[in-house]
Amino acid sequence: MENRKLLEVKDLVVHFDTFQGAVQAVRGVSWYLKEKETVAIVGESGCGKTVSIQTVIGLNPRKNGSVRGGEVLFEGKDLLALTQKEMREYQGNQLSIIFQDPFTFLNPTMTVGEQIMEPYLLHSRASRQEARARALEILRLISLPNPEETMKRYPHQLSGGMRQRVMVAMALICDPKILFADEPTTALDVTIQAQIMELMNGLKEKLNTSIVLITHDMGVVANMAERIYVMYAGKIVEHGDAETVFHHPKHPYTWGLLGSVPRLDERIQSELYSIPGTPPDLIAPPKGCAFAARCRYAKQICRKCEPPRIGFEEPEHYAYCWLNHPECIRRNGVTVREEE
Ligand code: SF4
């Protein structure tokens, strides 16, 4: 039996007011997550991926940020309709997050034990003794050496990898239904990166938690996600199951992201590709395709009209790019990439 949808984001629009005008950070984004599934949202800095998930868990600054439209359905309930107080029941409890830089997130004046216990004490009626037992249980689960000693330490006394494991422990202590991981390994070296990703994968199986992974790095996604959403300039530009997106990508931006990942199966490493230019100004997004200024395949129509959503043979695989339009394929005989 297929797993049901746990979280569904529908047509989400988020703006931030600035002196120059409203930054349209998220422009009508829709995605979903099923039970026990890992989904990755991939894109460069500033594409709106972090804003999307912070909106889902109610962490966006309400002072200048505003949700202009959409729904966030968690087990059928619209989280956007909840008050801040009601939302706090979910934060760190059913919906948990791991941030990019644990050193910034962790409180330097508290021992890591206190910090791991804090969400458990807040969301359960447990005594300090029970919270301590639960914290030790989680530290053992994530294979942190010498958990009793680690509980007494301060963040600065731990290595980068251990600090990130502490963040994982804090995020998991309340047994969340969804774990959001926002660039969880960017601040770590590659060996520790691999260990943290392996750890998260293992914990997902043990704890039945679903994961939303936010990253700019397709390499991180490769062994982890079942489905991928590629995001650019506040919109989803391609979606499909991981295998299809890796082997049959249909959007030039996805090609660029994949081209910037080193290949271990190549004996002579070719030069890594870097996408030229910078993302557009989201105070005044371009009229047609937002990627046109950086796209080597851009045509006249790309600058005038937004590309429509075009689906492919694989179920649920779609992309927003004029190259996949039947008329464009008819003229070229094949899609542009196949021609090269
Ligand atoms: Fe490039 Fe045009 Fe496709 Fe946009 S719609 S990605 S500009 S080819």
Rounded Cα–Cα distance for residues 308 and 42 (Å): 20
CB 310 within 8 A of CB 324: yes
Instruction: Output the pLDDT for position 264.
Output: 56
d(CA 256, CA 261): 9
Q: Which residues contact 321 (CB under 8 A, 6 or more apart)?
A: 237, 238, 250, 251, 252, 289, 307, 310
Regions of the chain where pLDDT drops below 70 = 1-2, 61-63, 186-189, 262-273, 332-340
Domain coordinates of the chain in residue numbers? 5-231
What per-residue confidence (pLDDT) applies to 294?
Answer: 95
Measured CA to CA, the distance from residue 11 to residue 26 in angstroms comes to: 9
Closest approach atom of ligand 1 to CA 295:
1
Contact 147, 111 (CB under 8 A): no
Ligand 1 binding site (Cβ under 6 Å of any ligand atom): 251-252, 289, 291-292, 295, 297-299, 302, 307, 321-323
Distance 300 CA to ligand 1 centre (A): 10
- Prediction pTM value: 0.90
- Ligand 1 centroid to Cα of residue 288, in Å, is 9
234 CA → ligand 1 middle, Å: 16
Q: What pLDDT was estimated at residue 339?
A: 47
pLDDT of residue 271: 64
Residue 188: the pLDDT is 65
Among 250, 291, 303, 320, say which to mutate for ligand 1: greatest number of ligand atoms within 8 Å of CB: 291
Mutation test residue for ligand 1: of 250, 287, 295, the one with most atoms within 8 Å of CB: 295
Mutate which of 230, 236, 289, 299 for ligand 1 pocket (most atoms within 8 A of beta carbon) = 289
* pLDDT per position as a tens digit, 94-129: 999 988 777 778 899 999 999 999 999 998 888 999
Cβ contacts of 218 within 8 Å, gap of 6 or more:
42, 246, 257, 258, 260, 261
277 Cα–ligand 1 center, Å? 15
Q: Of ligand 1's atoms, which has the minimum distance to the CA of residue 290?
A: 4
State which amino acid sits at residue 143.
Answer: S
**Number of CB atoms found within 10 A of residue 71's CB:** 15
Residue 247: phi and psi, rounded to 5, are: -95, -25
> Strand, helix or coil at 311?
strand
**Judging by beta carbons within 10 Å of its beta carbon (0-12, 13-18, 19+), is residue 266 exposed, middle or buried?**
exposed
Ligand 1 atom with the smallest distance to the CA of 322 is 5
Relative to the CA of 324, which ligand 1 atom is closest? Answer: 3
Ligand 1 pocket test: which of 297, 318, 340 has the largest number of ligand atoms within 8 Å of its C-beta?
Answer: 297
- Collapsing DSSP to helix, strand or coil, 291 comes out as coil
- What kind of architecture, by CATH, is found in domain 5-231? 3-Layer(aba) Sandwich (3.40)
Q: How remote is the CA of residue 15 from the centroid of ligand 1, in Å?
A: 25
Phi and psi at residue 56, to the nearest 5°: -60, -40
The residue whose CA is least distant from atom 7 of ligand 1 is: 292
For 319, half-sphere exposure in the C-beta direction (CA atoms, 13 angstrom radius) is 22
Centroid of ligand 1 to alpha carbon of 245 (angstroms): 17
Ligand 1 atom 3: residue of nearest CA: 321
